[in-house]
Chain A
Amino acid sequence: MIAAVNQGANSLRPGRAQIVFSGVTLNLGGKAILEGISLDVKPGEFLCIIGASGCGKTTALRLAAGLYQPTSGTVAFDGQAMLAPRRDIAIVFQDYGKALLPWRTAAGNVSLALEASGMAASQRATRIDELLKKVGLPNHAGKYPAEMSGGMQQRLQIARCLAQEPKALLMDEPFGALDAMTRQGLQDEVLSLVHASDATVVFVTHDLEEAIYLGDRVIGLLPHPGRIGIELQIDLPRPRDQLTTRENPEFLRLRRELFDFIKASEA
């Protein structure tokens, strides 16, 4: 990867794209889910994918993760074809309750990723502390997921993903099940975590404002079959702020444009 000079999520490094979809079509059970998707994601970019439900946004993310293989076309990461999931691509699932190990404590869940990467047991404890602190759970290391709120569980899943030291973070409606306040808090935390780690992010959401608030670029999918219908560059200043960014006339203009797009796509 390119040297980790912290240029902020907004200023993209030049050079070739990190995640490349070329003419990707996916059929599942004889039905076309995605058709002819071509897409470049640059290193360090924050890309948001929106679309009406059933348009294949989650499917696109699973292709990027290597959990699905395209029927035709290719998905590549750092110039290599994605034939299987990679350890340096982390996925944050929406259903945190199912993605965490209920029999392991918060520390144990983070440890799972460290164990898989072959880190020596003696080094894990320090790293786990660091990661839990990073996501705001420093005092919950000994708690089981069942003892934590939804927001805390999602932070824990993010901590486990960060333990993979990912070059790319794929997030599938990560805050979809959370209440509005928790959601806004987590949006800002994700922005600062990503800013600090320099990772590329692909973020799927059905919340248009969330997409504009977080992204460098927003892509909207049209349903049946899923294909790219709109692409918007988001040039809102960073760091973003829950109040001022959302009141920015440019934000409102973009929101209007996406809203119209979704309405037209559902018609």
Chain B
Amino acid sequence: MNRSVLYWRAASFAVAAGFIGLWQFIADQRLVSPVFLPGPDRAWASLVRGFASGDLLDKLLGTLEHMAYGWFVASIAGIALGAMIGSSRTMRSYVAPSLEFLRPLPVSAVIPVAIAMFGLTQTMALFVIAFGAIWPMLLATIHGFAAVEPRLYEVARSLHMSRLAVIFKIALPSASPDILAGMRLSVTVALILSVVCEILAGLDGLGHWVLLSARSFRSADLFAGVMLLGVIGYLTALAMSLVEKRLLKWRSSGH
């Protein structure tokens, strides 16, 4: 690690510490009532207490579960559909207009529909999360499959590669940078929608925890939940970029 990287890292750390310091200062000076704004010390204490009693851990696992299931379903469906649509020009021209109509549809508008269909259930949450998270993945996969170098298909033809081999050895790896970028975007969408569904449907999870804490003016618990959500978002994005780096090693190499 060279010096300038070290310097920037130290600087970003200092900025973060500055924000926490400012937050502590505002709380200590009671510029905002402690009923609404706990200091970082109280939020931290609540976080530790929540984990010690096991309550917060349950909620955390609940949210992670909603997120993971929804994201998983969206990934499978998004990649499979995207591969089908992307690899055929005819399919693209048939399906693209419908996608253009569905894509900008706010997921929040779909939630009442999902509730009407499935009730306030886990199935509803799964549907909503998957529906919202599928778009970045689907569109990226379509683009990735449509952009495979035609020359490689000619190579495949002259080698008499099977259809399956062409998909798994040529099209899929070629589209993988796009697919992974789509997966990274949709993991964030899945987190957002998990929280929304938990709040609306009262499903066990951090969204529900945050809502209840706010309603009963337990501001420290509220902030502990929000902090935890931030950490989930940060860690999942970090994990995805590590996976991307590992799988796309061939791209970064070179002169």
Chain A contacts to B: CB under 8 angstroms: 65-67, 84-87, 89-91, 93, 95, 98-99, 101-104, 112-113, 115-117, 144, 146-147, 164
Contacts and interface: CB of A to CB of B under 8 A. Distances in A.
Contacts of B160: 85-87, 116
Nearest to A149: B255
Contacts of A87: 158-160
A112 B253 CA distance: 21
Interface of B: 149, 151-152, 154-155, 157-161, 165, 169-170, 173-174, 176, 248-251, 253-255
A42 B248 CA distance: 45
A29 B152 CA distance: 24
Candidate in A67, A86, A112 with the most chain B CB atoms within 10 angstroms: A112
B176 A164 contact: no
Nearest to B249: A144
20 contacts: A67-B158, A84-B157, A85-B160, A87-B159, A98-B149, A98-B152, A99-B155, A101-B152, A101-B169, A101-B173, A112-B159, A112-B169, A113-B159, A115-B169, A116-B159, A116-B161, A146-B250, A146-B251, A146-B255, A164-B159
B169 A85 contact: no
A239 B173 CA distance: 43
A65 B158 contact: yes
B173 A103 contact: yes
Given A90-B158, A91-B155, A146-B250, 20 more contacts: A66-B158, A85-B157, A85-B160, A91-B158, A93-B151, A93-B155, A95-B151, A99-B151, A99-B154, A101-B152, A101-B173, A102-B250, A112-B169, A113-B159, A116-B160, A116-B165, A117-B159, A144-B249, A146-B254, A147-B254
A95 B176 CA distance: 22
A217 B198 CA distance: 77
Given A91-B154, A144-B250, A144-B254, A101 B159 contact: no
A177 to B, nearest CB: 14
Nearest to A148: B254
Candidate in B165, B169, B249 with the most chain A CB atoms within 10 angstroms: B169
Contacts of A91: 154-155, 158
B151 A89 contact: no
B253 to A, nearest CB: 5
A139 B169 CA distance: 24
B147 to A, nearest CB: 12
Candidate in B249, B254, B255 with the most chain A CB atoms within 10 angstroms: B254
A25 to B, nearest CB: 22
Nearest to B151: A98
Nearest to A102: B250
A102 B251 contact: yes
A87 B157 CA distance: 9
A115 B165 contact: yes
Contacts of B253: 144, 146-147
Candidate in B158, B249, B253 with the most chain A CB atoms within 10 angstroms: B158
Contacts of A101: 152, 169-170, 173
Nearest to A116: B159
A85 B159 CA distance: 8
B254 A67 contact: no
Nearest to B252: A146
Nearest to A145: B250
Contacts of A99: 151-152, 154-155
A67 B154 contact: yes
B224 to A, nearest CB: 43
B31 to A, nearest CB: 55
A98 B155 CA distance: 10
B149 to A, nearest CB: 5
Given A102-B251, A112-B169, A146-B253, A85 B158 contact: yes
Contacts of A146: 250-251, 253-255
Contacts of A115: 165, 169
B167 to A, nearest CB: 14
B241 to A, nearest CB: 18
Nearest to A67: B154
Contacts of A104: 173, 250
Contacts of B149: 98
A104 B151 CA distance: 16
A87 B174 CA distance: 23
A92 to B, nearest CB: 10
A98 B174 CA distance: 12
A91 B158 CA distance: 8
Nearest to B149: A98
Nearest to B173: A103
Contact of B250 (A86, A89, A90, A103): A103
